[in-house]
Amino acid sequence: MSTERTLVLVKPDGVQRGLIGQVLSRLERRGLKLIGLKLMQMDEALANQHYAEHVEKPFFPGLRDFITSGPLVAAAFEGANAVQLVRNTMGATNPLDATPGSIRADFGVDLGRNVIHGSDSPESGERELALFFESSELVSWDRDVEGWIYE
């Protein structure tokens, strides 16, 4: 089994709405292992790094203002196919297009307030994790139920 690591952010709207526990719980119930967690305030410099591919786009100032508007939760998850599992559990970026039962379909109604971010590839996962966590903040641990999750 090849494991991946991925970043998940419960965005400021999810924090303000009291959805942190529900979002993280859904990912854990999928079989993903939580290996890092922090409540933090993103500053503009980190927003510019995290969303570097969007800095020149017309919507970026609004995105930066939103993501720095309040506390967020940064979480690191690990597991086989972790990136795809998170993305499937999140649902489409636009909550109106998200599959029923996904986080965004259940909790989001607006493209700009969609509760959660997840890395879009294993490479992005590693890059994004390095922006939010020191390596010493990611805890590798053995979970007794692995045999019940993976064949």
Asked about 54 being catalytic, the answer comes back as: no
Measure CA 78 to chain center.
12
CA–CA distance, 70 with 11 (Å, rounded to integer): 9
Q: Which of 26, 87, 104, 117 is catalytic?
A: 117
| Helix ranges restricted to H, the chain | 12-16, 20-29, 44-50, 60-67, 82-90, 103-107, 122-132, 146-149
Supply the pLDDT for residue 2.
77
Supply the pLDDT for residue 129.
98
pLDDT digits (tens, 9 = 90+) for 27-51: 999 999 999 999 999 999 999 999 9
CA–CA distance, 42 with 36 (Å, rounded to integer): 17
* Low-confidence residues in the chain, pLDDT < 50: none
